[in-house]
Structure 1
Amino acid sequence: MAYSLEQCWHRVPGGTATAAIELARVLPNLRRDIQLIGFAGRHKTAPQDAYQPPINVEQLFLSGAALYESSMRFGFPKVEQATGQVDLLHCTSIIPFASKSKMVATIHDLAFLKYPQFFSRRGNSVFRRSLKILLERADVLLCSSQSTLEDCAEYGFSRDRLEHVPLGVVAPMVMTSRDQVKTRYKLPDEYLLFVGTLEPRKNLSQLIDALEILGDSVPDLVVVGSTGWGDVPEAENLTSKTKMRVHFAGFVQPSDLGAIYAGAQVLCYPSLMEGFGLPILEAMSYGTPVVTSKGSSTQEVSGNAAVLVDPLNIESIAAGITQAISHKAELSQLGRKRASEMTWQATAQKTVEVYERVVQ
């Protein structure tokens, strides 16, 4: 089976790369008769250490934007030029690679349809064309959340082509001591935490406004994540005007991230829209209370184990943070239980069931 891993080489690989990597790590151990053949474009360098694929990756002769554009516009290069003949193509992101084989694609969200203002002009164009091709070409879409599945159905996909396949979370693993991490990233003794690619839909500006309301009654905010587009200058401007202390840690290696989660008072994740929201489960697995948005996939993912807030209302966000701090022990217990229910093994099992259905 051909398995796309081009996103591992993106400037900001993000959750789509993490999901593809973790699934690829589990699938071969689940079923010995499944042979994953990874493919990506031709790159001169390896991905960042955190996004190294766990399987061999064959190379096509194009990469990045050129590969995406050629695949969508001209239908080449076919993935089989790199992988050889396969029974199935799994596109692990919204990009529909060209192939002669049957196709399964993973869709995390359709945020570009609901919030086009939060995406670049090129991003909007690529995602919209990709979705149109998937509507014509994909046999089944694997949707990370029921919310995304409903969005795909509303777009025009028949429900027999849609499967809800939730993502999982890796078991807690603190590879670096808290003291080492605190020194390395200049972290305060106590802190609130935000984790995610820094882009407008993550709603960081509203979070900082909410923290301004709370003032000195709450710890500093630590922001972990690579720059997406559009939000970082705005956020830095806000921090220059506010009394709230915000620490931008940038990209953090996975070996350090566990200790940062474990040391946080609360994960603040008031995103406007997510396909899933992996940081929610990651924080819960370390017993860190979570504040996140209601009425979206983040509510679905968190179950009854998080404090839910209106992401458009800074008073609601502020009240949620206060509630999470005051109910830390209870939320920690609920969160650990919720995270234990969401495994990559379960994701892989549901994925295999779809593979079998499509190739029959």
Structure 2
Amino acid sequence: MKLVLGVDAINPPLTGIGRYTWELAKHYSIGDYGFENVRYFSSGKWIADPLSLLKKDLNRRAGSRITKFLRPPAGVRKWRLQRAMRDSLFHSPNYFLPESATEGVVTIHDLSVFKYPETHPAERLHHFERSFASTLSRSSHLITDSEAIRDEVSSFFGWAKEKITAVHLGVLPEFRPYEATTLVEPLGRIGLSPGGYTLCVSTLEPRKQIDRLLDAYSQLAVEIRKAYPLVLAGSKGWLNDSLQEKIGRGEVDGWLRYLGFVPEASLPSLYAGARAFFLPSLYEGFGLPVLEALASGVPTLTSNSSSLPEVAGGAAWLVEPDDHVALREGIEKVISDDVWRAAAIKRGLDVASEMTWERCARRTAAVYKALN
């Protein structure tokens, strides 16, 4: 079969959807997945090599040459595009089919834009209002990141579950336990020491409930906060002015470090050196940071809502996302209960070992072939 993979989400730095798209593109370009051929499409043009999308400087230097190669005259371009779409299966890993695709497979990562519209910027809401109904009308099959979201999509849009497949995401092999001695130098560069902090990795947006995490953490015993300050890593996101104020107060009080965006290459060390990991999010389509923490051998707390229990697989301490007392007590347990921690680390490594990007790519390819 011939495949066209939409790669518009591949932009540095990679988001969760960008990572998912890149891993599919990478695996399909180097592995044997039974395709007659694979082509890549982004923003109305063909992409010869998806890796070029991660190299902005290279793209700028070679821009005129690449454009000339990928953008033939308009009439020829339209004919080629329509023919390629007609002869191939199109998969969009990022919610929307391009207008040139009369049908295809679409990955829906979550329904937060419909369930929690107040947590999204206006331009994203408008994009869904304009284009998502058209995408659904042309989709022959849907993919979700979890069974929880598969159930939601089926119920919300009235789709038969037979036309929706859940395919778990994967975790990079770099996310694993490391000897403390190997972490001293990379963590020392940012003023941290192995085992001397706890961690949350999240974009600062409302449904992640970072404000509730900070409220609970601020009420821990002083000796716990002093021994294990909370490190918060992630881009600033949106709709978070009051959260920024709380972050500032926590930093002044000395129990919080906000690192902002952390380069992907630095994340494995940051995870592996943490005493514990927390993600009390209200809603996640998958919750990739939870999987990364489990793979790193870090005891984890997360919410008992949406896909998070499914991803955690019995390895994390689960709490009601809006229960302040349960969150505070859960944080203390995950930090301090050595018996629970030892069992959670072992279980977490077992869960993470089953979720690889190679497995994700193969299960996704199996969806394509079932439709062919």
- Answer whether TM exceeds 0.5 for this pair: yes
Between the aligned partners of 1:254 and 1:153, the Cα distance in structure 2 is 34
Contact 2:235 2:261 in 1 (8 A): yes
Kindly tell me: are residues 113 and 122 of structure 1, through their superposed partners in 2, closer, same or farther at Cα, counting changes over 3 Å? Answer: same
Alignment of 1:273-312 (within 5 A): 273-312=283-322
1:8 equivalent to 2:10? Answer yes
Between the aligned partners of 1:260 and 1:48, the Cα distance in structure 2 is 23
Deviation at 1:19, TM superposition (A): 1.0
Between the aligned partners of 2:308 and 2:7, the Cα distance in structure 1 is 25
Between the aligned partners of 1:79 and 1:323, the Cα distance in structure 2 is 60
1:228 equivalent to 2:237? Answer yes
Q: Which runs of 4+ in 1 moved over 6 A?
A: 76-79, 81-85
Instruction: Look up the match of 2:63.
Output: none
Kindly tell me: are residues 352 and 324 of structure 1, through their superposed partners in 2, closer, same or farther at Cα, counting changes over 3 Å? Answer: same
Instruction: Look up the match of 1:352.
Output: 365
1:127 equivalent to 2:135? Answer no
Between the aligned partners of 1:346 and 1:59, the Cα distance in structure 2 is 34
Kindly tell me: are residues 48 and 209 of structure 1, through their superposed partners in 2, closer, same or farther at Cα, counting changes over 3 Å? Answer: farther
Between the aligned partners of 2:333 and 2:289, the Cα distance in structure 1 is 19
| Structure 2 letter corresponding to 1:202 | K
User: Which piece of structure 1 moves more, 30-39 or 333-342?
Assistant: 30-39
Deviations 1:126-172 (A, max 9, x none): 13444322321111110111111111112222323211111111224
Deviation at 1:23, TM superposition (A): 2.1
Deviation at 1:273, TM superposition (A): 0.6
Deviations 1:28-79 (A, max 9, x none): 4141535332222379x965569x9xxxxx879xxxxxxxxxxxxxxx9899
Between the aligned partners of 1:197 and 1:77, the Cα distance in structure 2 is 39
2:329 to 296, 319, 338: 319
Between the aligned partners of 2:80 and 2:216, the Cα distance in structure 1 is 47
Kindly tell me: are residues 96 and 22 of structure 1, through their superposed partners in 2, closer, same or farther at Cα, counting changes over 3 Å? Answer: same
2:192 to 184, 187, 193: 187
User: Which piece of structure 1 moves more, 175-184 or 332-341?
Assistant: 175-184
Contact 1:208 1:244 in 2 (8 A): no
Alignment of 1:230-269 (within 5 A): 230-231=239-240, 233-242=241-250, 243=253, 245-269=255-279
What is the count of residue pairs matched by the alignment?
337
Deviation at 1:177, TM superposition (A): 4.4
Instruction: Look up the match of 1:39.
Output: 41
Between the aligned partners of 2:312 and 2:109, the Cα distance in structure 1 is 16
Between the aligned partners of 1:264 and 1:146, the Cα distance in structure 2 is 29
Contact 1:212 1:244 in 2 (8 A): no
Query: Percent same amino acid among aligned pairs?
Result: 30
Between the aligned partners of 1:138 and 1:87, the Cα distance in structure 2 is 14
Larger radius of gyration: 2
Kindly tell me: are residues 340 and 137 of structure 1, through their superposed partners in 2, closer, same or farther at Cα, counting changes over 3 Å? Answer: same
Kindly tell me: are residues 177 and 154 of structure 1, through their superposed partners in 2, closer, same or farther at Cα, counting changes over 3 Å? Answer: same
Between the aligned partners of 1:100 and 1:239, the Cα distance in structure 2 is 45
RMSD: 3.1
Instruction: Look up the match of 2:151.
Output: 150
1:199 equivalent to 2:205? Answer yes
Between the aligned partners of 1:79 and 1:317, the Cα distance in structure 2 is 55
Between the aligned partners of 1:88 and 1:287, the Cα distance in structure 2 is 39
TM normalised by structure 1 equals: 0.84
Kindly tell me: are residues 167 and 179 of structure 1, through their superposed partners in 2, closer, same or farther at Cα, counting changes over 3 Å? Answer: same
Question: Which secondary structure state, in structure 2, belongs to the residue aligned with residue 237 of structure 1?
Answer: helix
Q: Where does the alignment leave 5 or more consecutive residues of structure 1 unmatched?
A: 53-57, 61-75
1:211 to 217, 224, 228: 217
TM normalised by structure 2 equals: 0.81
Deviations 1:313-355 (A, max 9, x none): 2211111111212122111111001101112222222211211
| Structure 2 letter corresponding to 1:347 | C
